[in-house]
Amino acid sequence: MQPTWDLIVIGAGILGTFHAYFAAWRGWRVLLLERGDWPGEASVRNFGTLMAGSLAGEWRRRGMESIALYRELAPQAGFHFFPCGSLYQVTTAVEAAILEEFAQFTPPDACRCELLEPSRAVELNPLLRREHVRLALFFPDDARIEPRSLFRRLIPWLMRELRVQYRPATVAVKVWVKGGEACVQTADGAELHARHAIVCNGSDLRTLFPDRFRAAGFERCKLQMMRTVAQPHLRLPTTMASGLTLRRYPAFASCPSYARLKEECVAPGVLEAGIHILTVQDPDGTFIVGDSHQYSDGDISEVLDARVEALILSEAQKLIDLPSWAIAERWYGVYSMPRDAELYRATIDGVIHLVTGIRGKGMTTGPAVACETIDALAP
What are the pLDDT digits (tens) for 22-66? 999 999 999 999 999 999 999 999 999 999 999 999 999 999 999
Main-chain phi, psi angles of 126, to 5 degrees: -65, -10
pLDDT of residue 16: 98
What's the CA gap between 235 and 238, in Å, rounded?
A: 9
Q: Does domain 1-82+142-217+341-379 have CATH number 2.40.110.10?
A: no
What percentage of the chain reaches a pLDDT higher than 70?
A: 99
CA-wise closest residue to 19 among 372, 350, 351, 359: 372
Mean pLDDT value across residues 294-309: 93
What are the pLDDT digits (tens) for 113-159? 999 999 999 999 999 999 889 999 999 999 999 999 999 999 999 99
pLDDT of residue 59: 95
pLDDT of residue 378: 86
Q: Does domain 86-140+219-337 have CATH number 3.30.9.10?
A: yes
pLDDT of residue 27: 96
Inter-helix orientation angle 147-161/14-25, to 10°: 20
Q: Inform me whether the pLDDT recorded for 226 exceeds 70.
A: yes
Report which residue type is found at 339: R
pLDDT of residue 2: 60
- In 223-266, which ranges are continuous DSSP H helix? none
**Per-residue CA distances from 311 to 74, 179, 225, 239, 267 (Å):** 35, 55, 12, 20, 8
How many residues can be counted in the chain?
Answer: 379
* E strands, 119-187, in order: 135-139, 143-145, 165-167, 172-178, 181-186
Helix (H) or strand (E) holding 366: helix 362-377
Mean pLDDT value across residues 78-94: 96
Strands 5-10 and 30-33: parallel
Helix (H) or strand (E) holding 161: helix 147-161
CA-wise closest residue to 326 among 231, 220, 196, 252: 231
Q: What pTM did the predictor assign? A: 0.96
Contact at 8 Å (CB) between 186 and 4? no
Question: How far from each other are the two terminal CA atoms of the chain, in whole angstroms?
Answer: 20
What's the CA gap between 105 and 98, in Å, rounded?
A: 10
* Of 129-133, 167-171, 255-259, 327-331, the least confident: 129-133
Helix (H) or strand (E) holding 346: strand 344-348
What are the pLDDT digits (tens) for 236-264? 999 999 999 999 988 899 999 999 998 88
Mean pLDDT value across residues 190-208: 95
Mean pLDDT value across residues 65-93: 97
* Residues 171-199: b if buried by 16+ CB within 10 A, e if exposed: bbeebeeeeebbbbebeeeeebbbbbbbb
Domain residue limits, the chain: 1-82+142-217+341-379, 86-140+219-337
What are the pLDDT digits (tens) for 259-293? 999 888 899 999 999 999 999 999 999 999 999 99
pLDDT of residue 1: 52
* Of 11-20, 101-110, 332-341, the least confident: 101-110
Q: What is the DSSP string of 69-135?
A: HHHHHHHHHT--EE---EEEEE-SHHHHHHHHHHHHS--TTSPP-EEE-HHHHHHH-TTB-GGG-SE
pLDDT of residue 277: 96
